[in-house]
A and B are shown apart, each in its own frame.
Chain A
Amino acid sequence: MTTTAPEVAATREALGPTLIRLRNEGLDIVVVDADLGASTSARRFKSEFPDRWFSFGIAEQNMFSAAGGLATMGYTVFASTFAVFAEHAYDQIRMNIAQPNLNVKIVVSHGGVSVGEDGASAQSIEDFALFASLMNFRCIVPADVVEAAAAEECAARTPGPFFIRTGRARTRTLYTDGPKFRLGVADRMREGTDLTIVACGLMVERALDAATALQNEGISARVLNMATIRPLDEEALVAAARETGAIVVAEEHLSHTGLGGMCAQLLASKQPVPMEFVGVPNRYGESGTWSEVLEIMGLTAQGVADAARRVVARK
C-alpha cells in the first residue's frame, strides 16, 4: 500500500504489495499459488522473492494440502485463489489446515456476487458459512483496500489459520485516514440511536450511504463494520442491540448461513431485538456488471435503508 489511499480500489489489490512489504520487514512468508496470482495480486511477490513462491498449477486441492505441510516447517504460508476455488478444496483445508491448526492464511479474491460478468458458478455466496464452520479459523471480510491490507498484515503476524475474503469490484475507499482494523473488534463508523446496521465487505459502504439517507427521514442509524465475522465482536453487537433496540445485518452472502445468521444466534441468547437481513436472496447469481448484479440481488444502499425502515417499524 502506498501511504495515500486511492479513492476507489478493489480489496484484492492489497495482497501483493502487502506480502512484499511484510517479507521485506523480515516475516518468514512463503506464497503458494494455483494459477491465479495475477488476479489475486499475489503474483507481484514472485518477482521479488522467486524462491519463496510455489506454483501448484491449476490444482487447488494439492495447493492447500501442501500449504499445510509447508506451515509445519515454520513458515507463514499465504495461499490465494478465487473464493469459489477455495470452496473446491474444502476438505483439504479442513483436514490439512484447520484441524491441525496450521499457520496458513487463505486470502481469496473474487468473493461474492460482485464478480459480476463471470456469472453464477464464479460467485461465492456460501464461503462465510464454510470457513466460519472451520474451528481455529479467524474470518475477515474487509470493507476497503486499506482495511484489506491491515487484515492481511494482522493475519501474517498472528499465528494460526485465517480466511480473508476480498473482492474484484472497485469500491470507494472508506478508511482514507488509515486503517482502524483490530481483529475481532467491530469498528463503529457512525453513531446512531434508532437502529444499528451491522455490515461487512462492500456492504459497509452501502450501509453508510443508507444511514445518510435515513438521517434525512429522521432515523438515526449506527453503523458497525463487522470486518471480523468470526469471532464476532459480541460486546459491540450486544451493546448495539441494547442501546439502539433494532438490528439490520447486511452482507454479500446468503443471510441464513452468513453474518446474519451468526448475529441472530448470538443476539437470540444475549439481547433479543427485532432484526432484518440484507443478503443474497435464496438463489444463485447471473451475469452482469458488478453493480448490476448487486442491484438484482438487492444489495444496495436502498435495500439496506428499506430494511432499516422495516426494523424500526417493528420496535
Chain B
Amino acid sequence: MLVVTSAPMDLQSLSRRVREHVLRMVYGAQSGHIGGSFSAADIMAVLYTEVLKHDPQRPDWPQRDRFIMSKGHCTPVQYAILAEMGYLPVEELSTFRKKGTRLQGHSVLGKPAGVDNTAGSLGMGLSFGLGIALGARLRGEDLSTYVLMGDGEQAEGQVWEAAMAAAYHKADRLVAIIDRNKIQNDDFVANQMVSEPLDEKYRAFGWAVRDGLDGHNFEQIAEGLRWARDVQGQPACVIFDTIKGKGVSFMENNPGFHGAAPSADQLAAALQELGVAP
C-alpha cells in the first residue's frame, strides 16, 4: 500500500517533539489535556509516519486514509502531529485555545485541514468512522479509517452500537484503536466503571482483536496497526496498553494531569525530563 509521508522520521525524536509541543500548548493556554495526549503520542507518531496513507500537501485528497479522533479533548497531540507532518505551521500551535485560533480545545472538522471530524462528546467517533468506511466501500475507494478512542470512553453506550453495526456491515476497512491509559477525568477507570475485558467484549461483538501490545513501543505499535489494517471480512480493534502522562515522571499515572495545565516550574521540569531546552 502506498504510504505518503514526508521524509523517514526518527520516531524517538518525533514523539519527543510532539510531547514538547503538547506541553507548550497546554501551558500557553493554561488549559488542555496533557495526560491523554502523552499516552497517545507514540501511537500517533507511528500512525502518521508508517501506516496512514496521507499527503499533507493534499489534505483533501479523496483517497486518503481517514483518522478520526474520538477522544476529542486530546487535540494537543493531534495538532502537534499534524504540525510536524506539515498540515499547519508549527508556530501556529501557540494559538491553541486562544481567541481567534483555528485550534479549538476540541477537534473541529477542517480546522486545520487534516482534522476529519468534530469531537468532544465522547463515544461518537466509531460511529462517524463507520459511516466513512461504508461510504468509501460504496464508492469503491481503497482507503482505511482509523478511530482513536480512550478506555474510559468505552463506557459510552454508543460505542457498542457502532461496534455491533460495524460487524454487521463487515466493515473491514474500519480500525478501532484503543489507548488504554487506565485513567479518566475524575479517577482511575477501574474506580469509575467496569469496562474490561475490552478484548473479549469486542470479540463477542464480532471484531478481530489484538490486545496486550505496548503503546509506547514503536515496533509493537506498527505491528498492531498494520495487522488491524489488513484484517479482512470483519472490523479490527487493536488495544494498546499505555501510560497516561507518559514521558514526564510526575505526570505519569497521575489523574491530576488529565485536564490540568502545568505551572511554570512544572513546565521547566517536564521539558528537562524530555531532554528539551526550556
Asked whether any CB of chain B lies closer than 8 Å to the CB of A44, the reply is no
Could you tell me the distance between the alpha carbons of A274 and B158 in the complex, rounded to whole angstroms? 47
Contact B131 A92 (CB under 8 A): no
* Main SS at interface, chain B: helix
Interface residues of A in 69-96 (CB under 8 A from B): 69-75, 91-92, 95-96
Contact B161 A75 (CB under 8 A): no
Could you tell me the distance between the alpha carbons of A92 and B117 in the complex, rounded to whole angstroms? 12
Asked whether any CB of chain B lies closer than 8 Å to the CB of A52, the reply is yes
Could you tell me the distance between the alpha carbons of A95 and B124 in the complex, rounded to whole angstroms? 9
Asked whether any CB of chain A lies closer than 8 Å to the CB of B14, the reply is no
Q: Chain B's nearest CB lies how many Å from the CB of A97?
A: 9
**Cross-chain contact of B132 among A56, A73, A95, A99 (Cβ < 8 A):** A73
Question: Which residue of chain B has its CB nearest to the CB of A75?
Answer: B135
* Chain-B contact segment, one of A60-68, A140-148, A191-199: A60-68
Question: Which residue of chain B has its CB nearest to the CB of A64?
Answer: B127
Cβ–Cβ < 8 Å partners of B161 in chain A:
56-57, 59, 61-62
Q: Chain B's nearest CB lies how many Å from the CB of A85?
A: 13
Could you tell me the distance between the alpha carbons of A70 and B139 in the complex, rounded to whole angstroms? 11
Asked whether any CB of chain B lies closer than 8 Å to the CB of A51, the reply is yes
Cβ–Cβ < 8 Å partners of A62 in chain B:
127, 130, 158, 161-162, 165
**Cross-chain contact of A68 among B128, B136, B139, B164 (Cβ < 8 A):** B128
Contact A57 B158 (CB under 8 A): no
The digit string for A213-256, where 1 denotes a CB below 8 A from any CB of B, is 00000000000000000000000000000000000000000000
Cβ–Cβ < 8 Å partners of B118 in chain A:
95-96, 99-100
Contact B169 A96 (CB under 8 A): no
Cβ–Cβ < 8 Å partners of B157 in chain A:
61
Could you tell me the distance between the alpha carbons of A96 and B118 in the complex, rounded to whole angstroms? 6
Cβ–Cβ < 8 Å partners of A100 in chain B:
108-110, 117-118
Given A59-B165, A95-B121, A99-B108, A73:B135 Cβ within 8 A:
yes
Interface magnitude class on chain A = 20 to 34
Q: Chain A's nearest CB lies how many Å from the CB of B131?
A: 2
Given A66-B162, A70-B132, A70-B134, A92:B120 Cβ within 8 A:
no
Asked whether any CB of chain B lies closer than 8 Å to the CB of A54, the reply is yes
Cβ–Cβ < 8 Å partners of A56 in chain B:
161, 165
Contact B165 A72 (CB under 8 A): no
Contact B164 A52 (CB under 8 A): no
Asked whether any CB of chain A lies closer than 8 Å to the CB of B179, the reply is no
Could you tell me the distance between the alpha carbons of A52 and B139 in the complex, rounded to whole angstroms? 11
Could you tell me the distance between the alpha carbons of A73 and B133 in the complex, rounded to whole angstroms? 9
Asked whether any CB of chain B lies closer than 8 Å to the CB of A30, the reply is yes
Could you tell me the distance between the alpha carbons of A89 and B40 in the complex, rounded to whole angstroms? 29
Cβ–Cβ < 8 Å partners of B165 in chain A:
56-57, 59, 62, 66
Contact A57 B164 (CB under 8 A): yes
Contact A96 B128 (CB under 8 A): yes
Could you tell me the distance between the alpha carbons of A197 and B133 in the complex, rounded to whole angstroms? 48
Asked whether any CB of chain A lies closer than 8 Å to the CB of B2, the reply is no
Question: Which residue of chain B has its CB nearest to the CB of A54?
Answer: B134
Contact A92 B124 (CB under 8 A): yes
Most buried by B among A66, A67, A70: A66
Q: Chain A's nearest CB lies how many Å from the CB of B81?
A: 20
Cβ–Cβ < 8 Å partners of A61 in chain B:
124, 127, 157-158, 161
Contact B164 A69 (CB under 8 A): no
Contact B131 A69 (CB under 8 A): yes
Q: Chain A's nearest CB lies how many Å from the CB of B198?
A: 18
**Cross-chain contact of B138 among A52, A69, A99 (Cβ < 8 A):** A52
**Cross-chain contact of B158 among A65, A67, A69 (Cβ < 8 A):** A65
Q: Chain A's nearest CB lies how many Å from the CB of B58?
A: 16
Could you tell me the distance between the alpha carbons of A94 and B139 in the complex, rounded to whole angstroms? 26
Asked whether any CB of chain A lies closer than 8 Å to the CB of B34, the reply is no
Known contacts A56-B161, A57-B161, A73-B138; can you find 14 more A-B pairs with CB under 8 A? A30-B138, A57-B165, A59-B164, A62-B127, A65-B127, A67-B131, A68-B128, A70-B132, A72-B109, A92-B124, A96-B117, A96-B118, A96-B124, A99-B118
In the A-B complex, the 8 residue pairs with the smallest Cβ-Cβ separation, listed nearest first, are A69-B131, A73-B135, A65-B127, A66-B131, A62-B161, A59-B161, A100-B109, A70-B131
